[in-house]
């Protein structure tokens, strides 16, 4: 049996499709899978059971990446195609059954993904880990201290909680009387984001800091799975932590927490007192010139949400 699964381009969106993929893996235990995805999230799929082929779609001019996908898949008669990009390519292939993502309904993205195959409730996102990544996480992280994981960057500056707020939160959580006293702090970011989070890195002693900056997503996932708590901006890392079952606190301002909030029973989110519309209106009218719209989400409010999540997941 052959199944073609066309996932999303961005990391967070790709993570949110993995519940549907796990449903297929479990439902068709002899099926061979071909997965097409963007380059940023490709690592998420490297350990999928019975993975026959991983097609990494690197964007090309004039939608040439779709032509490349067609060339690599036209020779196969597919039993099932699941196309979460709703592309023309999957309509031009031979297939028994086809499923398409038909756009957002305003529900959470996981709910919309589940609706592609009529699954209600929708399956939770799930990440398979390679043995090499698990071994590397064991090498990098201590076993005698709790791990506080942080995602202090995001792909849009306006939805990044100020680095100074992260510094305050870490100090409060890891203090001797904090919820995670003397915790090891795991910081995850991309290479180009190091400069903007450097003030945070400098405040955490070397002996208590583990940096995963520019590392592959498999290693990041294996490390996140060992964390006691993840706190981060609305980003792919937030969704990755949630999919691994790690208690995850997402921080939101000019975003959509009810559509893109962290999904799962071990998740929560904290939001600015202003709505998205209020923040953006103020920004566009010149009232805000800072690089973040998240400053009004205070350290105290985020700390309270983190403490409640830790208590609930104890």
Query: What CATH number is associated with residue 222?
Result: 3.40.50.2000
Q: Output the pLDDT for position 157.
A: 85
Q: Output the pLDDT for position 155.
A: 84
Nearest-angstrom CA–CA distance, 125 and 242: 8
- Whether 272 and 164 map to the same domain: the answer is yes
- pLDDT tens, 142-154? 999 999 999 999 8
Cβ atoms of 261 and 252 within 8 Å: the answer is yes
- Whether 258 and 145 map to the same domain: the answer is yes
- Whether 38 and 150 map to the same domain: the answer is no
Nearest-angstrom CA–CA distance, 189 and 229: 16
- Whether 279 and 152 map to the same domain: the answer is yes
**DSSP class of 297:** S
Q: Output the pLDDT for position 156.
A: 84
Contacts of 281 (CB under 8 A, 6+ apart): none
- Whether 28 and 172 map to the same domain: the answer is no
The band of 18, judged by pLDDT with boundaries at 50, 70 and 90, is very high
Give, for 56, the enclosing helix (H) or strand (E).
strand 51-56
Residue 24 has pLDDT above 70, yes or no: yes
Mean model confidence pLDDT for the chain = 95
Nearest-angstrom CA–CA distance, 7 and 13: 8
Q: Output the pLDDT for position 102.
A: 86
Judge whether 105 lies within some domain: yes
Nearest-angstrom CA–CA distance, 64 and 71: 11
- For residues 83-88, give the mean pLDDT: 96
- Whether 141 and 81 map to the same domain: the answer is no
Nearest-angstrom CA–CA distance, 68 and 291: 39
Judge whether 124 lies within some domain: no
- pLDDT tens, 106-116? 999 999 999 99
Cβ atoms of 110 and 122 within 8 Å: the answer is yes
The band of 35, judged by pLDDT with boundaries at 50, 70 and 90, is very high
Enumerate the β-bridge partners of residue 233.
251
- Whether 164 and 288 map to the same domain: the answer is yes
- Whether 43 and 159 map to the same domain: the answer is no
Q: C-alpha 86: how far from its chain's center?
A: 21
Q: Output the pLDDT for position 281.
A: 84
| Residue that finishes a domain, picked among 63, 86, 115 | 115
The band of 291, judged by pLDDT with boundaries at 50, 70 and 90, is confident
- Whether 148 and 289 map to the same domain: the answer is yes
Judge whether 294 lies within some domain: yes
Nearest-angstrom CA–CA distance, 20 and 13: 12
- Whether 73 and 177 map to the same domain: the answer is no
Share of the chain above pLDDT 90, in %: 93
Nearest-angstrom CA–CA distance, 60 and 150: 33
Q: How many CB atoms lie within 10 A of CB 105?
A: 11
Q: Output the pLDDT for position 13.
A: 97
Residue 280 has pLDDT above 90, yes or no: no
- Whether 45 and 166 map to the same domain: the answer is no
Judge whether 121 lies within some domain: no
Give, for 66, the enclosing helix (H) or strand (E).
helix 64-73
- Whether 91 and 152 map to the same domain: the answer is no
Q: Output the pLDDT for position 286.
A: 57
| Residue that finishes a domain, picked among 81, 115, 149 | 115
| Residue that finishes a domain, picked among 59, 80, 115 | 115
Residue 201 tokens read as: 């890195």
Going by C-alpha positions, the residue among 281, 265, 240, 221 that lies closest to residue 121 is: 265
Q: Output the pLDDT for position 5.
A: 98
Q: Output the pLDDT for position 82.
A: 98
Judge whether 175 lies within some domain: yes
Cβ atoms of 24 and 82 within 8 Å: the answer is yes
Residue 30 has pLDDT above 80, yes or no: yes
Q: How many domains does the chain have?
A: 2
- For residues 290-304, give the mean pLDDT: 91
- pLDDT tens, 241-258? 999 999 999 999 999 999
- For residues 158-164, give the mean pLDDT: 94
Judge whether 123 lies within some domain: no
- The boundaries of the domain holding residue 33 are 2-115
Judge whether 122 lies within some domain: no
Judge whether 202 lies within some domain: yes
Q: Output the pLDDT for position 140.
A: 98
Placement of tokens 């008669």 in the chain: 77
Nearest-angstrom CA–CA distance, 225 and 147: 10
Q: Output the pLDDT for position 207.
A: 94
- pLDDT tens, 174-208? 999 999 999 999 999 999 999 999 999 999 999 99
Contacts of 101 (CB under 8 A, 6+ apart): 83, 84, 85, 86, 112, 113, 116
- pLDDT tens, 60-79? 999 999 999 999 999 999 99
């Amino acid at each position: 049996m052959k199944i073609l699964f066309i996932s999303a381009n961005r990391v967070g969106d790709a993570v949110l499709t993995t519940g549907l993929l796990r449903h297929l893996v479990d439902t068709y235990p002899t099926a061979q899978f071909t997965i097409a995805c963007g380059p940023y999230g490709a690592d998420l799929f490297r350990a999928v059971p019975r993975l026959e082929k991983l097609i990494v779609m690197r964007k090309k001019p004039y939608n040439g990446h779709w032509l490349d996908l067609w060339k690599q898949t036209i020779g196969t008669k597919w039993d099932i195609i699941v196309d979460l990009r709703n592309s023309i390519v999957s309509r031009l292939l031979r297939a028994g059954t086809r499923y398409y993502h038909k756009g957002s309904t305003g529900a959470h993205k996981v709910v919309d993904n589940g609706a592609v195959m009529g699954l209600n409730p929708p399956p939770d996102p799930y990440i398979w880990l390679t043995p090499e990544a698990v071994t590397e996480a064991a090498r990098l992280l201590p076993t005698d201290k709790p791990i506080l994981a942080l995602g202090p960057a995001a792909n849009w500056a306006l939805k990044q909680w100020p680095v100074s707020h992260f510094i305050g939160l870490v100090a409060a959580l890891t203090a001797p009387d904090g919820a995670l006293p003397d915790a090891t702090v795991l910081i995850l970011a991309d290479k180009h984001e190091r400069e903007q989070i450097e003030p945070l890195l400098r405040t955490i002693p070397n002996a208590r800091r583990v940096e995963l900056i520019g590392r592959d997503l498999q290693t990041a996932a294996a490390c996140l799975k060992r964390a006691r708590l993840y706190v981060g901006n609305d980003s792919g890392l937030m969704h990755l932590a949630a999919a691994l079952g790690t208690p995850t606190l997402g921080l939101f301002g000019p975003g959509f927490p009810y559509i893109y909030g962290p999904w799962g029973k071990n998740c929560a989110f904290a939001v600015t007192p202003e709505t998205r519309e209020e923040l953006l209106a103020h920004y566009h009218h010149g009232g805000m010139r800072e690089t973040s719209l998240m400053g009004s989400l205070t350290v105290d409010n985020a700390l309270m949400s983190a403490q409640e999540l830790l208590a609930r997941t104890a």
